[in-house]
Amino acid sequence: MAPGVARRLRPALPLVLMIGVGLAAGCRHKSTPVAVAPPPALGTTPDTTPPPGPAPAPPTAPAAVADSTVDADFVASHPVIYTEEGLASWYGPPYDKRRGANGEIFDKDALTAAHRTLPMNSLIRVTNLSTGQSVIVRVTDRGPFVHDRTLDLSLASAKVIGVWRPGVARVRIEVFAAPAPLDHGGRWCVQVGAFKDEKGALQLRDQLSRKYHTANVIEFTGPTGHWVRVRPLDDDKARAVEIARDLEPTEGEAYLVRLD
């Protein structure tokens, strides 16, 4: 470039720089500010605690294997919500490894029990009134279907409280937690049996189907014989109680049973 031309262009350079600075300033006020948190001071840890919210509802019972430390702690720190006394027996073979009323495979070596009306998975403490021995178990099955019996213990549970050898003992049942109300609601039925002869059970099924035409009456086979089950409309408890009272002894032992 010729020296004369360079001298003519040199005065224009400050003007170009001023225009560039002005444009940059004009664009800068349109940009969105970004909040940047200052780094934590040395030797400290950033606070990652989530904002406060509603506390979760406490469980009705600890979700754990029966008689675990969790269950024992729960029983020690909660009041009894229901209690009753009655005769307890125990069961193992031929029920072992069969599907129980809760849908799971029954294990005679697990600390469980069968009860006709307590909600399934209720957490209970069973005390042998003769020995004072007690065990914490969960209700996982239905029964006992024997006159004047209140509870059926698994073989393992019966051994813990000294019911295994005598076979039957008077016990106190204390309920500490249940997944459903004890005094209302639930799904109910009436179970009649047991019949050694399937023909007798089928005849009773047909007879009760005609008598209770709005109910669902079925016959099924269990480890100890054949049974008939009457499920009233909507599994209503009041109607199930009426049916249980209405059945005559000649038709077999009738038991009010909670399904859930």
* pLDDT tens per residue across span 123-140: 999 999 999 999 999 999
Instruction: Please tell me the distance from the alpha carbon of residue 240 to that of residue 231, in angstroms, as a whole number.
Output: 7
Residue 176 three-state SS = strand
The encoded tokens of residue 50 equal: 């989530």
pLDDT of residue 249: 62
pLDDT band at 60 (very low <50, low <70, confident <90, very high): low
Cα(217)–Cα(225) distance, integer angstroms: 17
Mean pLDDT to the nearest integer, 214-226: 92
Q: How far apart are CA 133 and CA 125, in angstroms?
A: 10
* Helices and strands in the chain, H and E counts: 6, 10
How many residues are recorded in the chain? 260
Q: Which pTM was predicted?
A: 0.74
Residue pair 113/87 in contact (Cβ under 8 Å)? The answer is: no
Q: Please determine, for residue 61, whether its predicted confidence score (pLDDT) is greater than 80.
A: no
Cα dihedral 152, 155, 158, 160 in deg (nearest 10): -150
Mean predicted lDDT score pLDDT of the chain: 80
Integer Cα distance of 216 and 229 in angstroms: 8
Average pLDDT over residues 31-50: 38
Helix, coil or strand: residue 211? helix
Q: How many CB atoms are located within 10 Å of the residue 17 CB?
A: 10
Q: What is the DSSP letter of 135?
A: E
Q: Which residue has the higher pLDDT, 131 or 40?
A: 131
